[in-house]
Structure 1
Amino acid sequence: MKADLGRKYRLYPTQDQDAILTGWGHTARALWNAALEQRIFVYRQRGRTLRALEQCRYLALGRAEVDWLAELPSECGQMVLTHLDRAYDNFFDSGHPAGFPQFKKRSHRMSIPFKGQRVEVRQINRKWAEVRLPKLGWVRFRLSRALGGTIRNATVSRDGTGWHVAFGVHSGREDGPPNGKPGCGVDFGIAASAYVSDENRPRQMPPTLSPTERARLTHLERKKARQVTYAKKHRGGRYGKRLRKTVTEIARLKTRQANRRQDFTHKLTTDLAQNHGFVGIEDLRVNSLTASAKGTVDQPGARVRQKAGLNRSLLDNTPGERRRQLDYKCGMYGSELRVVAPFHTSQTCAACGKVDPASRKGCGRVFVCVHCGHADDADHNASVEIEARARRTCGSVINSTRSATRVRVPASGRRRMRETQPATQS
């Protein structure tokens, strides 16, 4: 039985348990780095790749000689090596976007994996429960929702707000039957976080930080820069208590910001998957869109600061995370995710189908077709075009760089036809 659901809860360890978990987190990170270094060395010297099964034997020998390595539960170390195997498999998979496994820095998110067979959960009352971890005992966590299945694995992690425990749960659920509801196209942007084709107003993500929090974050980042400069000059680069406290406060604010962003994303994707028969989105290449424009020393880029601000705004809307969530939520609620090619969606008239950059002068918020006179909000026009392409693709991605010849239906007519029949095929 494989895990098909994830459940994450806030964990509240005692002071002693917090110290032990912190030590285990650093040990798991060091083990990952050592195992990755060993694999790279063996491949360069002998031309072969080590796997977790062979490295587990070396891990057993290391636990007998290194005390801090022996403190980490044996199954946690085995899970770290298994995760490294998965990272290599993803890298060699041509259809997976993952790159080569990277070494983890001290600032990397701290996490300790556990096997589901060694984890036990008991409920204390309606709001609280405890999880029993190997060599640690019972640890309390906030039972914000029911587990809903059999625990297959668990991961204890820490972010800027504290410790969390995530369970991989097997619920036995199956994809829901087609819900029979009308489809839609969604245009993800910056000025409008999401514009749905069958709506007349965009969905805006609330500010992830209040003005006070944003000013405090700016103050803390400047304070950190001064403290880091002092540490390099007078402490050999070693972080003192004050600098670590500043880093912790920055992490707490950024975690709060990420949680609010994630909350909006989950609500948006759940609503789209529940209330539509299919959801059409663009096949965006986020890495290419957010590439830096700084260039090289010999050929420096132009408007680098403006491009950096644009990249931050684009990443703040998390188009990749929205696509990932829609991918599994559409199956849950009986809808379908249809990914279409993104070329010319912002320059194509949703009424006549003509592509002309002059219809959107200066990349403004208003789209006025220079051929038929159709006027609409630029993002809404793009969402209607995305929906039209999604009706033709039926879930496949358009790989061509040129639109196929097709019979066009006016935008108003499309909205009427959405309730009755699919768009005319080419």
Structure 2
Amino acid sequence: MKADMGRRYRLYPTSVQERVLTGWGHTARALWNVALAQRVHVYEQRGRTVRAVEQCRFLTQARAESELAWLAELPAQAGQQVLRHLDAAYDNFFSHAHPAGFPAFKRRGHRLSVPLPGQAVAVRKLNRHWAEVYLPKLGWVRFRLSRALGGTIRNATVSRDGTGWHIAFGVAIGIKAALPNGKPGCGVDFGVAASAYVSTETAPRLKPPGLTAAEGARLRNLERRKARQITYAKKHNGGKYSNRLRRTIAQIGKLKTREANRRQDFTHQLTTDLAKNHGFVGIEDLRVTSMTGSAKGTLEQPGRNVRAKSGLNRSILDNCPGTRRRQLEYKCHLYGSELRPVPPYHTSQTCAACGKVDPESRKGCGRLFACVHCGHEDDADHNASVEIEARARRTGGSVTNSTRRRPVVPSPAHRRRRMRETQPATYE
């Protein structure tokens, strides 16, 4: 049975275990880059694709060589899992139903992670709040048991972010679709000024700021300090980072991770409440990538209002509409509701009372919507959410006039052409 639910816990390794895990993370990143470079080279030279089964044999030979002793320090199961993940990245790239691009090389500043299969790890409970996980070649490592596993472990990933180490388990629970809950539906308008406005409510749901005023000021000071230290390193140390610069980067990462965790917490609370308390949830079928495209332009044709557009892009991404949709897709399945994406055309200019579309009803993109035909007045975001709910009721979630492009008919020639167009730019 495949994993159908994730469990993430805070890991507390000792200082020795932490050094070992850090080395494993860099080795896993280097293995990914070497394996990806090999696949690109073989395809360019011989026109064939190398898969993980073949590369696992090369990995076994490389681990036995004395020149690659650093590769042998990584558990064999972790190296094989890295190659399987590379297979999955290729499969997502070739799948026309998946938005993934060509697999990218990982930089040194990439988040450290070590993947492991489920049969390579074991978990034992110590008490109500603590447990231990057995990692190959490392032993038992303590983690905070914040919730029960609730199923069979199929895979595990050890990772590090700005706040410390974590372990995530892919657990097979055997989830089945819940019966329809029979509750009334709603429409939700995701925005910037109002994070989410539900059609059945009279006030918007506002996302609290990710950082307090003091934390924001500290982050700005750390960013300035980092810029000064990098300039000094380039002038006097040949670009080599000092220990002070590394501590500054770690402090910046801790603040940004704290901000991301608070954003994620609000998103989970919002999507869980919407999926649990409504029969269906209507949302706009948005193309976030196009909405947040850069306006910088080129040297010959520079863009206009670039700074304003950059600020708008940050505000849109801070509310993470794509993550909200992804969470609603699986949470509606769990709580007996239905996610209904609708075409987003003119939802902010359509009167929810008379149905007339007129840009004059919302002058200057303000907070007030005043219909010039019937005189209906309402908050602009609430009016849009009511229109989204009406479209979700009429179409049942159909996106016939969606802004998403039509699916391309898959063919071997199309796959080869797509790879030729993408690989040279990635390889450079």
Normalised by the size of structure 2, how large is the TM-score?
Answer: 0.93
User: For residue 377 of structure 1, what is the aligned residue in structure 2?
Assistant: 379
User: For residue 68 of structure 1, what is the aligned residue in structure 2?
Assistant: 70
Matched, 1:201 2:203: yes
Q: CA separation in 1, counterparts of 2:308 and 2:185?
A: 36
Matched, 1:9 2:9: yes
Q: Deviations over 1:312-367 (max 9, x none)?
A: 11100010100010000000000000111111110111111111110000000000
Matched, 1:343 2:345: yes
Q: Deviations over 1:147-166 (max 9, x none)?
A: 01010000000000000000
Tell me if the contact between 2:371 and 2:377 (Cα under 8 Å) persists in the aligned partners.
yes
Q: Match of 1:354, SS? A: coil
CA shift at 1:294, angstroms?
Answer: 0.9
User: For residue 360 of structure 1, what is the aligned residue in structure 2?
Assistant: 362
Paired residue for 1:79, among 75, 81, 85? 81
CA shift at 1:172, angstroms?
Answer: 1.2
Q: CA separation in 2, counterparts of 1:400 and 1:131?
A: 46
Q: CA separation in 2, counterparts of 1:275 and 1:86?
A: 35
Q: Match of 2:282, SS? A: strand
Letter in 1 for 2:5: L
Paired residue for 2:152, among 150, 153, 157? 150
Gaps of 5+ in 2: 404-428
Q: CA separation in 1, counterparts of 2:357 and 2:398?
A: 22
Q: Deviations over 1:40-79 (max 9, x none)?
A: 1011101111110111111111111110000000010000
Structure 1 residues 288 and 259: CA distance shift in structure 2, 3 A: same
CA shift at 1:398, angstroms?
Answer: 2.8
CA shift at 1:396, angstroms?
Answer: 2.6
Paired residue for 2:312, among 304, 310, 313? 310
Tell me if the contact between 2:342 and 2:402 (Cα under 8 Å) persists in the aligned partners.
no
Tell me if the contact between 2:198 and 2:382 (Cα under 8 Å) persists in the aligned partners.
yes
Letter in 1 for 2:179: P
Q: Match of 1:388, SS? A: helix
Q: CA separation in 1, counterparts of 2:131 and 2:399?
A: 45
Matched, 1:295 2:318: no
**Equivalence map 1:30-179=2 (5 Å):** 30-65=30-65, 66-179=68-181
Q: CA separation in 2, counterparts of 1:51 and 1:231?
A: 42
Letter in 1 for 2:151: G
**Equivalence map 1:397-416=2 (5 Å):** 397-399=399-401
User: For residue 424 of structure 1, what is the aligned residue in structure 2?
Assistant: none
Structure 1 residues 280 and 41: CA distance shift in structure 2, 3 A: same
Letter in 1 for 2:63: R
Q: Match of 1:130, SS? A: strand
Paired residue for 2:214, among 188, 212, 215? 212
Q: Deviations over 1:203-258 (max 9, x none)?
A: 00111100000000001011111111111122221111011000000000000000
Q: Match of 1:135, SS? A: coil
Tell me if the contact between 2:285 and 2:402 (Cα under 8 Å) persists in the aligned partners.
no
User: For residue 26 of structure 1, what is the aligned residue in structure 2?
Assistant: 26
Paired residue for 1:282, among 274, 281, 284? 284
Q: Match of 1:192, SS? A: coil
Q: CA separation in 2, counterparts of 1:58 and 1:160?
A: 34
Gaps of 5+ in 1: 402-426
Q: Deviations over 1:390-409 (max 9, x none)?
A: 112213323267xxxxxxxx
Number of residue pairs matched by the alignment: 401
Q: Match of 1:201, SS? A: coil
Letter in 2 for 1:189: G
Q: CA separation in 2, counterparts of 1:395 and 1:306?
A: 34
User: For residue 255 of structure 2, what is the aligned residue in structure 1?
Assistant: 253
Q: CA separation in 2, counterparts of 1:89 and 1:400?
A: 26
Q: CA separation in 1, counterparts of 2:373 and 2:48?
A: 62
CA shift at 1:298, angstroms?
Answer: 1.3
Q: Match of 1:342, SS? A: coil
User: For residue 333 of structure 2, what is the aligned residue in structure 1?
Assistant: 331
Q: CA separation in 1, counterparts of 2:29 and 2:71?
A: 11
Q: Deviations over 1:261-294 (max 9, x none)?
A: 0000000000000000000111111111111111
Normalised by the size of structure 1, how large is the TM-score?
Answer: 0.93
Q: Match of 2:19, SS? A: helix
Q: CA separation in 1, counterparts of 2:19 and 2:338?
A: 46
Letter in 1 for 2:164: G
RMSD: 0.8
Q: CA separation in 2, counterparts of 1:308 and 1:398?
A: 31
Letter in 2 for 1:56: C
Query: Which of structure 1's runs of 4+ aligned residues deviate more than 4 A?
Result: none
